Copies of this chain bind each other. A is one copy, B any other.
Amino acid sequence: MPEPGTKARIYLVDDHPLVLSGLANLIREQPDMSVVGEADDAQKAMEGFKATSPDIALVDISLKGMDGLELIKHAKARFPSLAILVLSMHDESLYAERAIRAGAGGYIMKQEAAEKVVVAVRRILDGETYLSDKMYSHLARRMAGGAERGGISPLRQLSDRELEIFNLMGNGRRIKEIAENLGISTKTVETHCAHLRKKLNLKGSVELMQFAIRWHHSRQS
C-alpha cells in the first residue's frame, strides 16, 4: 500500500507487447500510479518483483511457459504483501475462481474498458477485491449455497452416487450408457444430474458436462 503523496508502484506481466504498452500508457496517465517494471514471462516477473518490490502486479492469466496461476501462487508465497490483479482474455469464470483462491485480489477481462482497470487497481490497493459484475454474481451464486464450509471443492457436498455419475459424465458417457451401466432408469440419472447442477450451481447440461470434463481431465494428469 503506497503512502499518501507517493505513487503506487505497479509491475506489469503480459506476453503481448501491445497490451503491455497499452497498460503502461494507461497507468502513466494516472497521477497516483507509476510503472516500475514489465515482464513477458513468469521467470522474469519473479526476478522483477524481487528487484523492484512493487505494490501491485497486473498479470495475464495465460502466459507462455509457466501458467499465470502458478506465477500467482509462487508470487504470493515469496511476496505475501504483493497485491495481484489478474487480466484475462476470456470470459472464463472458472479461472476467476481459481485465481482468487490462488491469492489474487481481483480478476478483470481485457474486454473491459481501460478505465475499469484503473478502478480495479485502486480497489485492490485499498484492500478490497475486484470482480466484474457478471463474475461477481456468478461466484456469489456458487458461494450462496452454504457459506464456505472450509471445503476447498464443492464436490465434497456430493453424495457417493452423484460423484459416481459425475465421473462417468466426465468420461464422456451419455445418460443412457450410464443408466445401463448402473442398472437404473434414465430418469434416475436425470434426477442425479439435476442435483449435480443444483449443488454445483451450474445452469445447463452443457456447463455441467464442461465442468465434469475439465475436472476429470485435471484429476488424471
Chain A: residues with CB nearer than 8 A to chain B?
Answer: 15-23, 25-26, 62, 64, 67, 87, 89-90, 110-114, 117, 172-174, 204, 206-207, 209-210, 213-214, 217, 220-221
Contacts of A220 in B (CB 8 A): 62, 89-90
Q: Offer 22 A-B interface pairs, CB within 8 angstroms, sorted by A.
A: A16-B89, A17-B110, A18-B23, A18-B26, A18-B114, A18-B117, A19-B19, A19-B22, A19-B110, A21-B25, A21-B26, A25-B25, A62-B220, A62-B221, A89-B220, A172-B206, A172-B207, A206-B209, A209-B213, A210-B213, A213-B214, A214-B217
- Is B16 a contact of A110 with CB atoms below 8 Å? yes
Contacts of A207 in B (CB 8 A): 172
Q: Complex: how many Å from CA A21 to CA B20? A: 10
Quote the shortest CB–CB distance from A99 to chain B (angstroms).
13
Contacts of A64 in B (CB 8 A): 111
